[in-house]
A and B are shown apart, each in its own frame.
Chain A
Amino acid sequence: MKLRLSVLMIAISLLSYSCRTLGKKDSKEVPSSIQKEVQVGRLLAARLAKKYRIIRDPDFTIYLNQVTSRLTAISSRQELQFVTGILDTQEVNAFACPGGYIFITLGALQKIDTEEELAGVLAHEISHITLNHSGHFEDPEPIIDIISQLLAPGGDIISSFAQNAMGMLLDELLTKGRSKAFELEADKAGVLLLAELNYGMDSYMKYLNKLKTLPENQTIVNTHPPVGERLALLERMILDQKLQLKGTPQKSNSYKTHFNQFMKGRKSN
């Protein structure tokens, strides 16, 4: 009897808690689905950080984040704080986790020659996040989640929902790849974002051209559509929409300056 009463009390408190939570809706309050998106993205980011190791070079990381914030300043996801980090691997790739976490590999940074090319790679990843290519994050069973939180001995900050979502996304990033339609859409959106900031669209195409010669054991080859198809689609879009291929010429190559300093620092360590 006592047990039944306790269960009933817990159920009532849970219901009232969830009603209070669901009932509150300030127009500026970040919805729970976006909070969830950040939670899942952060979890995925921590997983990638463990798998590849993040290179902790503050100066170069600050530079990468400055280029990222220039691009995200005009994006629609102003509620997110975008973060870009370097993964310590020779694989040539970049990853976008939901919630604003972006990673670029050391291998990719070595292929890049200018800030415009870097902006192109980042714009592609930002587009994946902005266009919600990882899906929307509505928790189907929030009550179960809360109950499991309360019953877990010692507590638990990873909900089963977040853990499952993260597992699927990890598989998508490293093995299966996103859908072809999403990759092509991110390419198109990325170059349009570049154009808005007067970066040359051709810079991203130059970078894609460098990926043509990558060996088949590289993850990016198996998780993205063929480079030739991606380039053809971009060329068609630029022609159809009569877009300006070249951006404002850069006075100096700040990317090379920052990158060389970064590599010098790595060698001396």
Chain B
Amino acid sequence: MYIKVKSSFGDGYIMKLFLSKMPPGGKVQFGSEIDKSTSVKARSRASSYTETAAARGYSESAILRTRGSQSDYDFDAIQWLEKVSKMGMDGKK
């Protein structure tokens, strides 16, 4: 549960739970704010189709439909959840 760390500040033990591999600042963004999913954003450089589709306002489920997998996923519910969770963090009701 604890790991030994060496640093210029001093050596010691820290809980694994609190040891970050990332420097503070970077954050993975969800798509709910800009109505464009993380998946779409991550893929946009590789596939102009998905970017165009997202820009035209197609939902992720609609894009997935091109592959016939829509019955397995509910991205609309996830987008709703991301939006509501952000409202909670901003202290809005």
A residues in contact (CB < 8 Å) with B: 17, 21, 27-31, 34-36, 38-39, 42-43, 45-47, 49-50, 53-54, 56, 58-59, 61-66, 68-69, 74-85, 99, 101, 127, 130-131, 145-146, 149-150, 152, 154-159, 162, 185, 188-189, 192-193
Given contact pairs A81-B28, A131-B17, A156-B66, enumerate 6 new A-B contacts (beta carbons under 8 Å): A27-B23, A34-B22, A45-B81, A50-B74, A81-B86, A158-B67
A131 touches B16 (CB 8 A): yes
B28 touches A192 (CB 8 A): no
Partner of B20 from the list A17, A30, A76 (CB cut-off 8 Å) is A76
* Bound Cα distance from A29 to B73, whole angstroms: 29
Residue of A nearest to B63 (CB): A157
A193 touches B73 (CB 8 A): no
B17 touches A66 (CB 8 A): no
- A158-B39 contact given A58-B84, A81-B85, CB 8 Å threshold: yes
A81 touches B47 (CB 8 A): no
Interface size on B, residues (CB 8 A): 52
Partner of B64 from the list A21, A77, A157, A159 (CB cut-off 8 Å) is A157
- A154-B17 contact given A42-B78, A81-B27, A81-B28, CB 8 Å threshold: no
Chain A residues contacting B89 (CB-CB under 8 Å) are: 65-66, 69
A157 touches B50 (CB 8 A): yes
A156 touches B47 (CB 8 A): yes
Chain B residues contacting A154 (CB-CB under 8 Å) are: 49, 66-67
Q: State the total of A-B contacts with C-beta under 8 angstroms.
A: 167
* Bound Cα distance from A30 to B47, whole angstroms: 21
A46 touches B27 (CB 8 A): no
* Bound Cα distance from A42 to B43, whole angstroms: 14
Chain B residues contacting A63 (CB-CB under 8 Å) are: 88
Chain A residues contacting B72 (CB-CB under 8 Å) are: 47, 50
Q: Among residues 31 to 84 in chain B, which have CB atoms less than 8 Å away from a CB atom of chain A?
A: 37-40, 42-43, 45-47, 49-50, 53, 60, 63-64, 66-67, 69, 71-75, 77-78, 80-82, 84
Chain B residues contacting A85 (CB-CB under 8 Å) are: 77, 81
Chain B residues contacting A58 (CB-CB under 8 Å) are: 84, 87
B1 in the interface, Cβ–Cβ < 8 Å?
A: yes
Query: Measured between C-beta atoms, what is the minimum distance from B46 to chain A in Å?
Result: 4
B73 touches A43 (CB 8 A): yes
Q: List 23 A-B contacts (CB under 8 A).
A: A28-B23, A36-B42, A38-B38, A42-B37, A42-B39, A45-B78, A49-B74, A49-B77, A62-B85, A62-B88, A64-B88, A65-B84, A65-B85, A69-B88, A79-B22, A80-B28, A81-B27, A81-B85, A84-B85, A131-B17, A145-B46, A155-B47, A155-B49
B88 touches A61 (CB 8 A): yes
